[in-house]
Structure 1
Amino acid sequence: MDLHRDEEAAFGPASLTGGGMLPFEGRTLMLGPDGLPAGVLDAERDGWISPNNPILVRGLVKILPLAWRGDPRSGYNPAVSSSEIAVFASRMQSAGMYWAGPWRVLDLDTHGSDSMGSYTSALRSAGATHVDCWTYSESVGLTLVWAGDEDAGTMSLALHVVPVSWVSEPRVKKPVPGVDVGWSWADVIALRANPPGGAAENL
């Protein structure tokens, strides 16, 4: 197996239109039986928790990009199909259930001036279309987020690590200012091209 070729296919410039998904090693790390990979909870900035697993830090939100469909309008030979993303999403759901029990669907229509309302508002602004959530620990919540539109070339899949009050009771009664969950595969490509410290590094 040519690991460099797999990384290039997943994270190289062509993946923005051709689509990208974590290489096999990256998917395997995400599906491990022991829960979140090492380094995720401690990440403070964009970087890599392994050579095949980028992480994007948006304030209190840690985003683990999983897949990007690419642009079906560009006449390319797609590197990633929607069915492949669906299979990976299903496996992530199974992993989350093993880590933290059955998932709940987060109601994206939740409004209000509390922590969950702040998060769902940010998800809507970022184009989220479906969100499964878990209570991972007393302080950590997880969400598996489908976002964007396949026809528009913006469809993505990511795992968010968030404060637990954003996805379950009891909620923080005050709104959380500045929640940012926006990202695209272009951020991943840029991170690979210009990694922190000049080389891909573990956090």
Structure 2
Amino acid sequence: MKKVLFFAAIAVLGFTSAEAQVKLGFGVGYAIPSGDVADFTDGGLSAHFELGYGVTENIDVSLLYTGDFLIGSELTAGNGQASVSVGNVAVATYMVNGRYYFTESGFRPYGSLGLGLASIGAIEVDGSSAELSASTSNFAFRPALGFKYGVLNMNAAYLSAGKTGEASVNDISFNIGLLFTFGGQ
């Protein structure tokens, strides 16, 4: 049994040769709401983390986590009193992401597509009361266009996270981050 495990380990190491590339990336950006969520939010913060594998020199596959926090406020005055209403939406996505690089070295523009699950939560604060909307999980997709130069990674992405209640939750984000490659050439 020990010999079988030993030869299996040697075989696995043989398949993950010197050409194997592990990818580790993270970044932050600005998210602009679109769809129905744009009616009550103004914009917010976007962040992402990914861990992946370079299948070829031009193709990466990764597990991608993104978190978008959109916030909006409205100030109303009436009957001699002012009222502030604040609403926010938090969207967390867990995706499998594929990326295709159009060039092999230097400045590397790419297109990518992420497919997975989005978890949406919303909080509405009106004056002194707060209301937590129920969390919703939906299918989500995230196409993106960007470039990588060295370890610098910049992209613009569109996130479609489905609906919560009757409101569609979508956003466009502009991100800057770092994408490290370990192994390979």
TM-score, normalisation: structure 1:
0.26
Structure with the largest fraction of helix:
1
Relative contact order: is structure 1 or structure 2 higher (C-alpha 8 Å, sep ≥ 6)?
A: 1
Q: Which has the larger radius of gyration?
A: 2
Structure with the largest fraction of strand:
2
TM-score, normalisation: structure 2:
0.28
